[in-house]
């Protein structure tokens, strides 16, 4: 029997407890012994829980219990999660977490402590919810140099964009629907402004390239400026608009990483990932493109990924699993203005097409009402900004500027 | 340093050697020590290999070398692979193989020997080539009861079907093109008659449900009877035809498993998996549908999966990885005639529609030339066969009978 504690009894935490209780037999068959929930930490009371007697409001009861070998952190946020996780690891307990904010902010430090203490720090659920991605990247793709990782990493924004694409809904209406259906928080900023997706691509980039990438070194744009016109015009060119987190290793070893809406070509596997689903493409030098698809959030999908980590921690109480990356200082990340891609512009005004052609060279265009959509050749983002400024100076309205994703 | 031997220097074997040499640094970083190819077994000579001096034609040189802790079996076929692998495991060496025929025929026995000898028997590359699937199913989805696994598991047939669907090519022409491009063997029987896909769904079913499923207990149909008419009519109904390996756990615990061409609805993630690519859908009770996509064959994709297993074997020279299923006797598998699905029929003859409606009840139909395509309600396969016989007796030509995949 391995005793575990669960810190947090919200959506994911209650799901973890539920799976540990309802899937007891299957987990026993895999592990060869029972996983026993000894403590659940939450400030609230849950008198109706079948294990109501094991709840505590006092973290010290967990940290000081030598029988508890594995601690699950599903509280979310940085405080007190960061402090608690650090103390658990230092006390020789393995930790499994679904907390992407924590991993993106402190992953390198926590992995280093885990290594020093010869325990495990695992976070399969922090990216892609129930989709296996951390372990496949770390283990199955170990024989690959990863050229690129790109993904639809946030289900809320993907739901909103899909509703705009499929049903012609306005952004605000689609956001409200997502909130009503429970896909979006009342305060949706972290999702729609891209910060949630950014944290996830940071975790994947750190894992793929071995040095921590912190969110504040990654250029991030959300989807709040995407209009129905953009959606329609993108379709005419053969693209769908998706919020993409993307990291690419350049030939000099530096990383081109960003989170932004992109036009994804219809022949990309990512283009058909719709609604609240997530999809992650990993481009290996041996495997080629591998894509992982599934529900990126939700109580049981996320909880089942946490439970997989718990089982792995329980199997490796003595032998450490080889999951590690070093700290990073951002020096290997290029300025987002130096990133190169083809661009989509939506413009209006007299002679917009001729002016765009003069500035950008060989462009493709589609007209819709008084507006013109333009796809430019590949261009440095900073140069695109300058040319857009020139366009504006020449009397052209530049209404949208969105990258074309080569994914 | 861990010494390994590679048995077989064909397409996959030479790829394994290549990756171990070219990705030395990355592998060292993951494992913490060097993987050294001590011996390569092949009856042919490879004087131009950079490690030509390490080739041997004598298996005894491998089995008797106590330094060799991990043996890679990439010879293919059952003999002598089965005997060699068994002897390696019994000699205390871990084995990594890409040989689906071997795993489908003898997996349970070899896993039992590995367990007894406290070594590892791994076969990530046996299903889905470079796509991580064995490890994710075994580890990441451990907290799920798997309701169903369905996949496009054979790249050759998927290439042929895609060429028929996209370019209107005849089956024979598409097969020839696949052969010319190296996707299909000169003797393509194992692919086009479904046996290769069958072996793979047997491996996934054994893994998902813990008891070995042998290929001879699985009903298997190939794609040789699929015509361009079927492809076109399927499209009119909103389906594409794919060769699917599929296993579903029924409510009484028995397994409904088969390999056959199926009509896959366009909103299924499997419908957009084209050409030589593979895709596998795993339906977990917690995660929902998770889909894995990538190249299901080829030198480097397959070899990179084998190398991932080598690394895992090297990391676990003492501790066994928990990969296991028991032997099976087929008693948990239902007769394919008892399997239930909606059916697609292509028929011709006087009053075919009225006669089909009378026999099958509420049908959907599409006409094309003198032929009629019918989709029936859900029906037991055996009953469908009887009704088709009745149709024939009444003067209707039944030209095609294909299952509708609920995937």
Q: How many cross-chain Cβ pairs, A to B, lie less than 8 Å apart?
A: 170
- Cα(A260)–Cα(B22) distance, rounded to whole angstroms? 34
A44 confidence band (pLDDT: 50, 70, 90): very high
What are A142-184's pLDDT values in tens digits?
999 999 999 999 999 999 999 999 999 999 999 999 999 988 8
Buried b (16+ CB within 10 A) or exposed e, A148-167: bbbbbbbbbbbbbbbbbbee
**B contacts of A300 (beta carbons < 8 Å):** 285-287
Find the closest chain A residue to B299 by CA distance.
Answer: A286
What are B272-312's pLDDT values in tens digits?
999 999 999 999 999 999 999 999 989 999 999 999 999 99
Find the closest chain A residue to B296 by CA distance.
Answer: A287
Which of A4, A132, A268 has the highest number of chain B CBs within 10 A, making it the mutation to test binding with B? A132
From the candidates A200, A242, A246, A295, give the one annotated as an active-site residue.
A200
Asked if A295 and B288 come within 8 Å (Cβ–Cβ), the reply is: yes
Q: What is the pLDDT of residue A139?
A: 87
Token duo for residue A336: 């987002």
For residue B96, give how far its alpha carbon lies from the nearest alpha carbon of chain A (Å). Answer: 13
Q: What is the pLDDT of residue A359?
A: 97
Given the DSSP bridges, would you call strands B55-56 and B219-220 parallel, antiparallel or unpaired?
Answer: unpaired
Q: What is the pLDDT of residue A320?
A: 74
For residue A136, give how far its alpha carbon lies from the nearest alpha carbon of chain B (Å). Answer: 6
Residues A216 and A186: beta-carbon distance below 8 Å: no
Asked if B141 and A308 come within 8 Å (Cβ–Cβ), the reply is: yes
B153 confidence band (pLDDT: 50, 70, 90): very high
Count CA atoms closer than 13 A to B322's CA, side-chain side: 21
Q: What is the pLDDT of residue B100?
A: 97
What are A178-188's pLDDT values in tens digits?
999 988 888 99
Q: What is the pLDDT of residue A182?
A: 85
Token duo for residue A318: 């003595």
Asked if B144 and A304 come within 8 Å (Cβ–Cβ), the reply is: yes
Task: Reply yes or no: is the peptide bond before residue A287 cis, omega within 30 of 0.
Answer: no
B139 confidence band (pLDDT: 50, 70, 90): confident
Find the closest chain B residue to A301 by CA distance.
Answer: B287
Count CA atoms closer than 13 A to A217's CA, side-chain side: 21
Cα A321 from chain centroid? Answer: 23
Of B5, B274, B304, B279, the closest CA to residue B125 belongs to: B304
ipTM: 0.95
Q: Domains in chain B, ordered, with CATH?
A: 2-129+299-315 (3.40.50.720), 134-295 (3.30.360.10), 340-404 (3.30.70.600)
- Cα(A236)–Cα(A251) distance, rounded to whole angstroms? 34
Asked if A286 and B141 come within 8 Å (Cβ–Cβ), the reply is: no
Q: What is the pLDDT of residue A184?
A: 85
B321 confidence band (pLDDT: 50, 70, 90): confident
For residue B32, give how far its alpha carbon lies from the nearest alpha carbon of chain A (Å). Answer: 9
Q: What is the pLDDT of residue A183?
A: 82
For residue A390, give how far its alpha carbon lies from the nearest alpha carbon of chain B (Å). Answer: 42
Asked if A287 and B27 come within 8 Å (Cβ–Cβ), the reply is: no
Asked if B294 and A305 come within 8 Å (Cβ–Cβ), the reply is: no
Does the pLDDT value for residue B185 go beyond 90? Answer: no
Q: What is the pLDDT of residue A351?
A: 95
H or E element that contains A257: strand A255-265
Q: What is the pLDDT of residue A219?
A: 98
With 0-12 / 13-18 / 19 or more C-beta atoms within 10 angstroms meaning exposed / middle / buried, residue B201 is buried
- Supply the DSSP symbol for A45: -
Residues B401 and B388: beta-carbon distance below 8 Å: yes
- Cβ neighbour number for residue A366 with a 10 Å cutoff: 17
Average pLDDT over residues A130-137: 95
Asked if B130 and A287 come within 8 Å (Cβ–Cβ), the reply is: yes
B182 confidence band (pLDDT: 50, 70, 90): confident
- Cα(A378)–Cα(B208) distance, rounded to whole angstroms? 46
Secondary structure, 3-state, chain B: CEEEEEECCCHHHHHHHHHHHHCHHHHHHHHCCCEEEEEEECCCCCCCCCCHHHEECCCHHHHCCCCEEEEEECCCCCCCHHHHHHHHHHCCCEEEECCHHHHHHHHHHHHHHHHHHCCCEECHHHCCCCCCCHHHHHHHCCCCCEEEEEEECCHHHHHHHHHHHHHCCCHHHHHHHHHHCCCCCCCCHHHHCCHHHHHHHHHHHHHHHCECCCHHHCEECCCCCCCHHHHHHHHHHCEEEEEEEEEEECCCCCEEEEEEEEEEECCCHHHHCCCCEEEEEEEECCCEEEEEEEECCCHHHHHHHHHHHHHHHHHCCCCCCCCCCECCCCCCECCHHHCEECEEEEEECCCHHHHHHHHHCCCEEEEECCEEEEECCCEEHHHHHHHHHHHHHCCCEEEEEEEECCC
Asked if A130 and B288 come within 8 Å (Cβ–Cβ), the reply is: yes
- Cα(A147)–Cα(B83) distance, rounded to whole angstroms? 40
What are A370-400's pLDDT values in tens digits?
899 999 999 999 999 999 999 999 999 999 9
Catalytic residue status for A24:
no
Does the pLDDT value for residue B320 go beyond 80? Answer: no
Asked if B322 and A32 come within 8 Å (Cβ–Cβ), the reply is: yes
What are A76-85's pLDDT values in tens digits?
999 999 999 9
What are B74-84's pLDDT values in tens digits?
999 999 999 99
Average pLDDT, chain B: 96
A140 confidence band (pLDDT: 50, 70, 90): confident
Q: What is the pLDDT of residue A127?
A: 98
Which of B96, B286, B295, B311 has the highest number of chain A CBs within 10 A, making it the mutation to test binding with A? B286
Does the pLDDT value for residue A67 go beyond 90? Answer: yes
Q: What is the pLDDT of residue A276?
A: 93
Which of B132, B143, B162, B281 has the highest number of chain A CBs within 10 A, making it the mutation to test binding with A? B143
Of A268, A270, A260, A277, the closest CA to residue A337 belongs to: A260
What are A207-255's pLDDT values in tens digits?
999 999 999 999 999 999 999 999 999 999 999 999 999 999 999 999 9
B151 confidence band (pLDDT: 50, 70, 90): very high
What are B191-243's pLDDT values in tens digits?
999 999 999 999 999 999 999 999 999 999 999 999 999 999 999 999 999 99
Query: What are the angstrom distances between the C-alpha of A268 and each of A73, A151, B379?
Result: 36, 11, 36
What are A336-375's pLDDT values in tens digits?
999 999 999 999 999 999 999 999 999 999 998 889 999 9
Task: Reply yes or no: is the peptide bond before residue B242 cis, omega within 30 of 0.
Answer: no
Token duo for residue A139: 């283990």
Average pLDDT over residues A251-261: 98
Average pLDDT over residues B328-354: 97
For residue B87, give how far its alpha carbon lies from the nearest alpha carbon of chain A (Å). Answer: 26
**B contacts of A19 (beta carbons < 8 Å):** 143, 286
DSSP A355-390: HHHHHHSS-EEEEETTEEEEEPPSEEHHHHHHHHHH
Find the closest chain A residue to B322 by CA distance.
Answer: A30
Asked if A293 and B293 come within 8 Å (Cβ–Cβ), the reply is: yes
Is the sign of the CA dihedral A357, A361, A362, A365 positive or negative? negative
**B contacts of A322 (beta carbons < 8 Å):** 30-32, 315
What are B15-38's pLDDT values in tens digits?
999 999 999 999 999 999 999 999
């Amino acid at each position: 029997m391995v005793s575990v504690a669960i810190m947090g009894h919200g959506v994911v935490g209650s799901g973890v407890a539920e799976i540990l209780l309802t899937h007891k037999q299957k987990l026993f068959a895999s592990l060869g012994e029972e996983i026993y929930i000894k403590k659940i930490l939450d400030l609230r009371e849950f008198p109706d829980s079948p294990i109501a007697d094991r709840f505590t409001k006092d973290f010290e009861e967990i940290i000081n219990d030598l029988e508890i070998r594995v601690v699950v952190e599903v509280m979310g946020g940085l405080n007190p999660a960061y402090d608690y996780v650090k103390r658990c690891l230092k006390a020789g307990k393995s930790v499994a977490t679904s907390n992407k904010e924590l991993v993106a902010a402190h992953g390198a430090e926590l992995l280093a402590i885990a290594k020093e203490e010869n325990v495990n720090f695992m976070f399969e659920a922090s990216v892609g919810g129930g989709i296996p991605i951390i372990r496949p990247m770390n283990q199955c793709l170990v024989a690959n140099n990863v050229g690129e990782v790109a993904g639809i990493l946030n289900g809320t924004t993907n739901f909103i964009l899909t509703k705009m694409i499929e049903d012609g809904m306005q952004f605000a209406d689609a956001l409200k629907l997502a909130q009503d259906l429970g896909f979006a928080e009342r305060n949706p900023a972290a999702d729609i402004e891209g910060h949630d997706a950014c944290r996830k691509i940071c975790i994947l980039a750190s894992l793929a390239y071995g040095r921590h990438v912190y969110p504040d070194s990654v250029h991030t744009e959300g989807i709040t400026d995407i209009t129905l016109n953009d959606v329609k015009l993108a379709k005419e060119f053969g693209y769908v608009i998706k919020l993409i987190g993307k990291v690419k290793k350049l030939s000099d070893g530096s990383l081109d990483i960003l989170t932004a809406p992109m036009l994804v070509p219809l022949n990309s596997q990512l283009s058909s990932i719709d609604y609240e689903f997530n999809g992650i493409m990993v481009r290996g030098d041996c495997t080629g493109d591998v894509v992982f698809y599934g529900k990126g959030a939700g109580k049981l999908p996320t909880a089942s990924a946490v439970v997989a980590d718990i089982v792995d921690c329980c199997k490796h109480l003595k032998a450490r699993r080889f999951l590690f990356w070093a700290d990073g200082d951002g020096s290997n990340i290029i300025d987002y203005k130096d990133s190169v891609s083809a661009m989509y512009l939506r413009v209006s005004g007299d002679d917009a097409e001729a002016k765009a052609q003069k500035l950008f060279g060989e462009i493709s265009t589609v007209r819709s009402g008084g507006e013109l959509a333009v796809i430019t050749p590949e261009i440095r983002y900073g140069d695109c900004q300058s040319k857009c400024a020139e366009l504006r100076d020449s009397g052209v309205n530049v209404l949208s500027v969105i990258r074309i994703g080569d994914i």
